Amino acid sequence: MNLLFFQAALIVYALAAAGYLVYIVKPEQKWTAAASFWATSLGFVLHIAYFALRWTESGRIPITSFFEAANFLGMGIVFVFVLMEFRFKIPALGSFMLPLVILLMVPALVISGDIKELNPVLKSGWLGIHTSLAVLGDSAFAFACIISIMYLIQERQLKSKHLGAIFHRLPSLDIMDTLGYKALTLGWPLFTLGMLTGSIWANSAWGTYWSWDPKETWSLITWVIYLALLHLRTIGWRGRKMAFLSILGFAFVLISFFVVSRVQVGKHSF
Amino acid sequence: MGIVVVGLSHKSAPIEVREKLNFPEATLPEALKKLMSYEGVRESLIVSTCNRVEIYASVQDTNAGIDRIKQFISDYHGLSREDLERSLYVYPDAQGVRHTFRVASSLDSMVLGEAQILGQLKDAFDISLKTKTTSTIMNKLIKKAISVAKRVRTETRLAEGAVSISTAAVELAKKIFGELEGKNVMLLGAGEMAELAAQHLLGNGVKNIMVANRTFERAEELATEFKGDAIRFEHFPDAMVMVDILICATGAPNYVVKRDMVTRVLKERRNKPIFMIDISNPRNIDPEVDKVDNVYLYDIDDLQSKVDVNAEGRSKEAEKAEELIALEVETYLQWERALDAVPTIVDLREKVEDIRKRELDKTLGSLSGMNEDQKRAVDIMSQSIVNKLLHAPLVVLKQAASSTDTTDNTLAVARRLFNLDKELKRPGHDRAPEQEAPAALEKGSEAKCRE
């Protein structure tokens, strides 16, 4: 499989990330934000092109190997970012989200990108639905985590009263708190649906809905954490505490994604 | 003919007196018309804010003019002259010009460098223009004052201090709340800086202001001004549950807002953030409060640290502004003197020519048997006598027109020596108008305390 489009997308993302980082430290360079947004959009198009090519070549949705999953999660995050930037115009998001995308895509590069034969038992329409929902849920959680980090930085600036250049670049606490919460209210149902469809798929493939596979267990923990977060929010938790919890939740997502899938043996190991 | 400023301000009179002499905006045209009916008042403008009530006028005779204006204030507000004299100040001529420029440039304000007063002066000028109570001199004076204020603004950094503290507060609020629309502000206590900050917040979309003050009347007064609600001081901790931005300036000697109070409030408002600005000295909000989550407490020093012009720097800026104003007063006075000199010279010429012609006609009429050449010779002789006689006075008048000596009264002397003002007196303004003060006083609460 030719990695040309993948590499091109990665390079363009790297340029965009660099542009966004310049934007956040050098406030006078206003054009960097606009240029970076265009670069990100271009990268996204290349990324989709790569995804489509891979889909045609393998004859199934390319989301079954670790490489493909990381690639898909990266795409999901860029998608969420482009959407958010388009809607809310917060270029500082790019300074945090694109590095995360690169962090996801570079390890994918190291790992084999070869197309593997899929276990015939898994060939089902549920594959695409289950994985898409799970990855979209993860993307929303990634967004919530990033915006929580930004929130904590801004909160620190305001509390310490030392207002640096980044203070002017980051949006208001209110919008970050709200967006972070919205991302959770969107991510959690998607994640839940991902688990449900996975369960249905498991039943059709192996005849059991739930088998305490390590990934299933971790996902359940992650699911409970985010459920707890949503509950705490309704009883008045917000701001700093919520931001910390949101970051913690995403740590579980990452562990589940990078560690559990690879290290432990189970149905989800790639 | 000259400029006089008669009035009172936060420097000369307490608020209780200033309130009594207030001219609500709606009554200004009528008040101006009344003032114009006093003898010798040629042009007039009234500035009425809660920090100052001032009458700017150009009058025929300075001393008489001052007396008439004082009489007007006394008549209009139904106060005795004695009571009035204690709080009033008077700036005649050059001093009046200087005072006008200083007021416009906010050098006479409580908060040095704040911009509100310039807007208020412009508003007052607009009203006078509409009522047609100003003309050449006042128009020039006020326009000049506005341009001087702009020069002071751009050429000194005087305004930065005042503006940036409020601006910093607004900027911080925006970084906490995003848009300020729909946010609730509470003003705890009163004071120039606090009001200024509240004013800036209002200008940035805040709609709802609550005012709590130890004297409830003052709270009501401020609430009316900001179109907000007054609350009793002892109720403020309960009301704080709804407050997003708290501006504190009570002048109390101890902490009024304490940590446990804030912790309780935060719990009740489900941790929705509160931005607290403590402008009081000594501080009224316990610094411990800042340790509560979702509370952002800034005192005046925190805000000021964002402003690099320190107190020392600001007084230097004020000095610069004063120098600039002194120069501008000179250019203005030159203009005024030239304005005075030109009609004086014209008047003098006309008057002398008039006398010459009359006397010539008389003489020629009584002499018979003169031929045309002889008649022309007599005419020329009279002309050259007049010219020779006028030469020295005209030279002196022209010099006086461009002189920088403010005590130079050559023009006035010339007008008196040649009796030039007699025909200029306007008839029919001798009687003082009826008193109609009480109606105006009732509207006193509309005082604009924004300066």
What CATH number corresponds to the domain at position B204? 3.40.50.720
- Of the candidate ranges A64-73, A118-127, A206-215, B12-21, the one whose mean pLDDT is the lowest: A118-127
pLDDT at A112: 64
Residue A265 — pLDDT band, cuts 50, 70, 90? low
In B, which residues are within 8 Å of A241 by CB distance? 293
Model confidence at B251: pLDDT above 50 = yes
Q: Tell me which DSSP letter residue A208 carries.
A: -
Q: Is residue B421 part of a domain?
A: no
pLDDT at B324: 92
Same domain membership, residue B75 and residue B206: no
Q: What is the 3-state secondary structure (H, E, C) of chain B?
A: CEEEEEEEECCCCCHHHHHHCCCCHHHHHHHHHHHHCCCCEEEEEEEECCCEEEEEEEECCHHHHHHHHHHHHHHHHCCCHHHHHHHCEEEEHHHHHHHHHHHHCCCCCCCCCCCHHHHHHHHHHHHHHHHCCCCHHHHHHHHHHHHHHHHHHHHCCHHHHHHHHHHHHHHHHHHHHCCCCCCEEEEEECCHHHHHHHHHHHHCCCCEEEEEECCHHHHHHHHHHHCCEEEEHHHHHHHHHHCCEEEEECCCCCCCECHHHHHHHHHHCCCCCEEEEECCCCCCECHHHHHCCCEEEEEHHHHHCCCCCCHHHHHHHHHHHHHHHHHHHHHHHHHHHHHHHHHHHHHHHHHHHHHHHHHHHHHHHHCCCCCHHHHHHHHHHHHHHHHHHHHHHHHHHHHHHHCCCCCCCHHHHHHHHCCCCHHHCCCCCCCCCCCCHHHHHHHHHHCCCCC
Task: Verify whether the Cβ–Cβ distance A161 to B298 is below 8 Å.
Answer: yes
**Domain of residue B83, residue span:** 2-157+314-333+439-446
Residue bearing the bigger pLDDT, B236 or B110: B236
Min Cα separation B24/chain A (Å):
41
Which member of B177, B305, B306 has the closest CB to residue A172?
B177
pLDDT at B306: 61
The answer to whether B112 touches B163, Cβ cutoff 8 Å, is: no
Q: Is residue B408 part of a domain?
A: no
SS percent in chain A: helix, strand, coil, step 5: 80, 0, 20
Q: Is residue B79 part of a domain?
A: yes
Residues A43-67, mean pLDDT to the nearest whole number: 86
Same domain membership, residue B178 and residue B148: no
Residues 6 or more apart whose CB falls under 8 angstroms from that of A140 comprise: A80, A183, A184, A186, A187, A190, A191
pLDDT at B308: 46
ipTM comes to: 0.84
Q: Is residue B242 part of a domain?
A: yes
Measured in degrees and rounded to the nearest 5, phi and psi for residue B299 equal: -100, 180
How far is the first Cα of chain A from the last one, in angstroms, to the nearest whole number? 18
Residue bearing the bigger pLDDT, B191 or B143: B143
Which member of A161, A239, A240 has the closest CB to residue B302?
A161
Mean per-residue pLDDT of chain B: 82
Residues A66-77, mean pLDDT to the nearest whole number: 86
Same domain membership, residue B178 and residue B68: no
Q: Has B248 been annotated as catalytic?
A: no
Residue B18 — pLDDT band, cuts 50, 70, 90? confident
> What would the two tokens of residue B33 be?
């018309």
Model confidence at B437: pLDDT above 70 = no
pLDDT at B315: 73
* B61-73 confidence digits (pLDDT tens): 889 999 999 999 9
Residues 157-186 of chain A with CB under 8 A from chain B are: 158-159, 161, 163, 167, 170-175
Same domain membership, residue B204 and residue B90: no
Same domain membership, residue B238 and residue B324: no
pLDDT at B447: 38
Model confidence at B427: pLDDT above 60 = no
Same domain membership, residue B51 and residue B175: no
In B, which residues are within 8 Å of A238 by CB distance? 270-272, 294
Residue B371 — pLDDT band, cuts 50, 70, 90? confident
Mean per-residue pLDDT of chain A: 86
Strands B245-249 and B2-9: unpaired
Which one of the listed residues B6, B21, B50, B103 is annotated catalytic?
B50
Answer with the one of B262, B284, B304 that is the final residue of a domain: B304
Query: Could you give the angle at the alpha carbon of B232 between the alpha carbons of B230 and B237, nearest 5°?
Result: 105
Same domain membership, residue B146 and residue B169: no
Task: Verify whether the Cβ–Cβ distance A172 to B175 is below 8 Å.
Answer: yes
- Long-range contact set of residues B386-395: C-beta below 8 Å, sequence gap at least 24: B386/B352, B386/B353, B386/B356, B389/B352, B390/B348, B390/B349, B390/B352, B393/B348, B394/B345, B394/B348
Probe site for chain B from A90, A158, A160 (most B CB atoms < 10 A): A158
Residue bearing the bigger pLDDT, B97 or A59: B97
Q: Is residue B121 part of a domain?
A: yes
pTM > 0.95: yes or no: no
Same domain membership, residue B122 and residue B208: no
* B301-326 confidence digits (pLDDT tens): 777 666 544 455 667 888 889 999 99
Model confidence at A264: pLDDT above 60 = no
Tokens 């107190």 correspond to: B311
Rounded percentage of chain A residues whose pLDDT exceeds 90: 40
Residue bearing the bigger pLDDT, A251 or A265: A251
Same domain membership, residue B147 and residue B14: yes
Q: Is residue B46 part of a domain?
A: yes
> What would the two tokens of residue B442 be?
């009732």
pLDDT at B431: 38
Same domain membership, residue B260 and residue B295: yes
Model confidence at A118: pLDDT above 70 = no
Same domain membership, residue B235 and residue B115: no
Min Cα separation A240/chain B (Å):
8
Domain count across chain B: 2
* B82-100 confidence digits (pLDDT tens): 888 888 999 998 999 999 9
CATH of the domain at B74: 3.30.460.30
Q: Is residue B387 part of a domain?
A: no
Q: Is residue B343 part of a domain?
A: no
Which member of B172, B177, B273 has the closest CB to residue A239?
B273
Model confidence at B397: pLDDT above 80 = yes
pLDDT at A267: 63
- Of the candidate ranges B29-43, B161-175, B254-268, B282-296, the one whose mean pLDDT is the lowest: B161-175
Residue B442 — pLDDT band, cuts 50, 70, 90? very low
Residue B443 — pLDDT band, cuts 50, 70, 90? very low
Same domain membership, residue B328 and residue B244: no
Which member of A172, A238, A241 has the closest CB to residue B174?
A172
Q: Rounded distance, CA B138 to CA B44, Å?
A: 7
- Torsion over CA: B174, B176, B182, B186 (sign): negative
Model confidence at B425: pLDDT above 70 = no
Residues B167-185, mean pLDDT to the nearest whole number: 87
* B47-61 confidence digits (pLDDT tens): 988 678 999 999 988
Probe site for chain B from A156, A157, A163 (most B CB atoms < 10 A): A163
Model confidence at A124: pLDDT above 50 = yes
pLDDT at B32: 94
Q: Rounded distance, CA B13 to CA B87, Å?
A: 5
pLDDT at B66: 93
